[in-house]
Structure 1
Amino acid sequence: MMNLMKAEIYKLSRNHTFWVLIGVVTGLSALLHCLVITDWWLLSGTEFDKAGLSELNALSAFTLLLYFNFIVSTLAAFYISTEFRHNGVIKNQMMSGNKRTNIFMAKYIVFSLGSFLVTVLIPLLTAIILVLLFGQGDILNVANLIYLGRAYSLFTLQLLSFTAIVLLIATLTEDSGKTIIFSLLLSIVMFAIEKFITASFIKMLYEHTFFYQLSEVFTYTMTKDEMIQSILIGFLSLMVILLCGIFIFKRKEIQ
């Protein structure tokens, strides 16, 4: 398992798409945070505003499902899906005596790590660094740091479920373009359910998915019960999706 993970980390570090995404996200994050901090972009009404962190309002753009879906699905398309082509990468891994479960989990762990770096860590670190450089570090008091820690910890748990379902899509489609398209279609459907569906039963089901929790975890005031519910939803969703992914990968014909 460790050798598989080392191999996946090596492949990820050599993946040009991964480095392009890092560059694009870093530049975009720096630009948006500069615009917010210097009042060129008057963004208000966010949960960061309610927490007294208006200088970090640009972070709300990086928590939108359609945004990080595009980032994560693009990474999956050019890091995971391409290995199902005729280069025999996955076939060689199995011929080397590795269990399919270990292969799948190694790809999932490294893929999730790369997704976390691009969608969470870089925007957050960029925001904190720019706030400090602009002399507004006093907003990073203990209470605000606790809020950020709680919100992003819960967000990361939900993101792990999302990376698992994108990896599942990439495994099923075996195609870069289809991985991106189907991932985006899934996000659009969830967005439509959240914004336009009024049926109470469907609303109730949606509010018990990790898709709903991806935005709900940034609520400034969350009760203990709400946090426990978020953890349970994220953990159970992750387990179910991973089990489905392993089941499909074990039975998949590898060319």
Structure 2
Amino acid sequence: MEHVASRFDAATTDFEVMQDGAIKLYNGIEHPSKISSALLRRAWKLRGLRPWGMTWKVILQSGLEVIRMFNLIRAEFFKLHKNRSFWTLLVALAVVSLAYPLLYYFDHRSSGEPQFTGAQFLSTFIASNVYAIKFGVAVLAGFFICNEYAAGIMKTIASSGNTRGRLFAAKLIGFAVGSMVVSLVFPIVSTVEVTLLSGFGHLPAESSEFFIPRVLGLTLLYTAAYAAIGAMFAVILTDSGKTIGVSIIFFLMIDIVLAGIGSKVEFFRKLYDDSIFKLVGDISKPSIDSGDWPELLLVPLLTIALCAMLGIFVFRRKDIK
């Protein structure tokens, strides 16, 4: 594509040269013998190209930008696949997801209480998955993003010729996808285990057949929003230990702080009610009113956009050593 773009540039330049020569010839400024006949013939053939030349040039350059971005994202996915911390986190969460239902299973078995079915366990404990999301995002931000600062990889990437905005966007996409995978471990593994032990059962009476896809889809969306916040902390702090510590404290304390201040200040109450930290609890609702959907979808999307812009702003001005 770069070769084709250069051909268009050359052709457009030739036409502009010949157009200038034709004007000089017409005005008597240039003698006909000084103008190459071959160049005249070539300009005549290219006379219809100029109106389309700039359009195609823009299209080709846009295509090249897409290809470069795709290659950066693919590189991030490759690094995520090779990241040991990512796989360690997945295994640890899988073990917890297997152990957690067993505690209830043996407790109910010894007390004679009815066992949870898979559907009951999912609808009851999906809200607890937010802690796995917060912990997973904090740990992955520290080991996936900040480790590249310590290893000098980030400095090499920043000098690769790609813009820092493009580099951060690719890093955010790779990091968000990794966080999304982490967020699905607990609901999927625990639900499958309980289903094997006690059967799947029935979904809540108020819910529809789309309850499970809705729960998983919103989980992925809100995890991406948390990941955008985690990536922003990572480029600000650049140290894995600081990033993990600050992220965990922030994610665990933000609800308490905003709810406490919001009880006294109306602005903060409204801010908390319309934030992902409060709305993430609505994922587990058996049914969601149609009027609540715009807020439920727009708030995490706006959070991703805002944190991505702030992250790019910081990353562009960061001195990478």
Per the TM superposition, whether the score is higher than 0.5 is yes
Q: Unmatched 5+ residue regions in structure 2?
A: 1-68, 111-115
> Within 5 Å, which residues of 2 pair with 1:1-255?
1-37=69-105, 39-40=107-108, 53-56=119-122, 57-64=124-131, 67-85=132-150, 87-119=151-183, 121-139=184-202, 143=207, 145-193=209-257, 195-197=259-261, 198-199=263-264, 200-255=266-321
Query: Percent same amino acid among aligned pairs?
Result: 28
Unaligned runs of 5+ in 1: 43-48
After superposition, the Cα gap between the structure-2 partners of 1:41 and 1:71, relative to the gap in structure 1 and judged at 3 Å, is farther
Q: Distance in 1 between matches of 2:313 and 2:247?
A: 20
> Kindly tell me: are residues 145 and 109 of structure 1, through their superposed partners in 2, closer, same or farther at Cα, counting changes over 3 Å?
farther
* Letter matched to residue 5 of structure 1: I
**RMSD after superposition:** 2.5
- Separation in structure 2 between the aligned mates of residue 90 and residue 238 of structure 1, nearest angstrom: 22
Post-superposition CA distance 1:145-173 (Å, at most 9, x none): 41222233223222211101110101000
CA distance in 1, matches of 2:209, 2:319: 48
- Is the contact made by 2:165 and 2:312 (CA closer than 8 Å) also made in structure 1? yes
Change in CA separation of 1:187 and 1:54 when aligned onto 2, cut-off 3 Å: same
Q: How many residues align?
A: 243
Distance 1:243 1:195 in 2: 27
TM-score when normalising by structure 1: 0.85
Shift of 1:11: 1.6
Distance 1:230 1:60, change over 3 A: closer
